[in-house]
Amino acid sequence: MSIQIKKLEKEIGATLFERDARKMRLTPAGQLVQKTFASILGSYNAMLWQARSIEQEQKCLRIGYHGPSDWAGILSLFRRCLSQNPGTRIQIESAEYGELAKKLEQGKPDLAFLEAADAKGRDALKWTPLFDDYGCFAMAKEHPLAALKQIAPADLRDQTIYFNLRPSASMQTIFQKLVQSGIPPEKLACVEGTETAIAQALAYGGLAAVPMTFQNDKNPQIAYVPNASPLVHMDFCLAWRAENETGFLLRFVEHSKAHPWPRTAP
C-alpha cells in the first residue's frame, strides 16, 4: 500500500498524506484528490449502468397492435423471432390504430401493426405493407344469418350493426366503406371497441362488423360470416421510426415480411 501511495504522489506531484508514527491524515491536496476520484468513480459507475441499460433496450422491442391475443397468427411470429434472436425480449402494447400511430411518432412503442390509413401521411414513420384483411359479421350462433356463407346488404334488413368507431383514420375509412357497400348509415350503431361491438351484438341479437382476422373460433357462442362486399377491407402494415432502427428491429421487420399472413379475401 505504501508503495502504491508513493507512486500516486509522484504521478500527481503532491503529498497526499501526512504521516507520523501512529496514523496517516489526508493533506489538503489529498482531500481534493479523494473528492475528485469519488466523483470520477460515481460517473464511471453511472456510465456502466447507462451503457448496460442501452444494451438491454436494444435487445427489447416494444410492439403495439390492436386485436385478439393471437391476431393473424402473431404469436407464432413472436416465438419465431425470439427463438432466432437469443437474449432478446418483446414487450406488447395494445391500443387503437390511431392512438398507436401517434405514440409511434413520439418514439413509443418501437414498432406497431397499423391499418395503412393511419400510417400514411406521417412523415416521421417508415412502414411496409403486410396483407389485406376483409370484413365479416360476428353474431350469436343461433342468429338466422349465421347459416349463410356470405352476407350481402340485402340480408341486413331490420338488422342493427354494431361498429367500433374510435378516433382513427382507418375506422372512419371502414365506416365509409360499409356505407358504400350498401349498408344504410342509420343501421350502424357506433360503439367504442371491437369487443364492445361483439358484446352488444350478442346481447341484443344484432351483428358486429369486424375484420375477419378477429375471428375467435374458441368462443362457442359466436359465428362469423364474411361480408360479401369486397369494398370493406383493411390494409395492414408494420410501421416504425427510422431513428429507432436497431439490428433487432430490422430483423423483426424481415420476419414480419416472411410471416404467412392470412388470406381473407371474400
* Sequential DSSP letters for 52-83: HHHHHHHTEEEEEE-S-TTGGGHHHHHHHHHH
Examine the domain organization and report whether 252 and 122 are in the same domain: yes
Give me the residues of the chain with pLDDT under 50, please. Answer: 53, 56
Given CA atoms 17, 18, 23, 25 in this order, what sign does their dihedral have?
negative
Query: Is residue 66, in this structure, part of any structural domain at all?
Result: yes
User: Who contacts 243 (Cβ-Cβ below 8 Å, separation ≥6)?
Assistant: none
Number of domains in the chain: 3
The pLDDT of residue 233 is 86
Query: Is residue 90, in this structure, part of any structural domain at all?
Result: yes
User: What is the spatial distance between Cα 58 and Cα 99, in angstroms, rounded to a whole number?
Assistant: 24
> Cβ–Cβ contacts within 10 Å for residue 85, how many?
17
Examine the domain organization and report whether 152 and 222 are in the same domain: yes
The pLDDT of residue 125 is 93
Domain closes at, from 21, 39, 57: 57
Domain closes at, from 16, 40, 57: 57
Examine the domain organization and report whether 139 and 176 are in the same domain: yes
The pLDDT of residue 216 is 63
**230-262 confidence digits (pLDDT tens):** 888 888 999 999 888 888 899 999 999 999 998
The pLDDT of residue 237 is 94
Q: Residue 145: give the domain boundaries.
A: 133-234
Query: Is residue 265, in this structure, part of any structural domain at all?
Result: no
Query: Is residue 108, in this structure, part of any structural domain at all?
Result: yes
Query: Which triple of cell numbers denotes residue 29?
Result: 491536496
The pLDDT of residue 35 is 86
Examine the domain organization and report whether 125 and 94 are in the same domain: yes
Examine the domain organization and report whether 77 and 45 are in the same domain: no
Examine the domain organization and report whether 196 and 228 are in the same domain: yes
The CATH number covering residue 98 comes to 3.40.190.10
The CATH number covering residue 32 comes to 1.10.10
Query: Is residue 263, in this structure, part of any structural domain at all?
Result: no
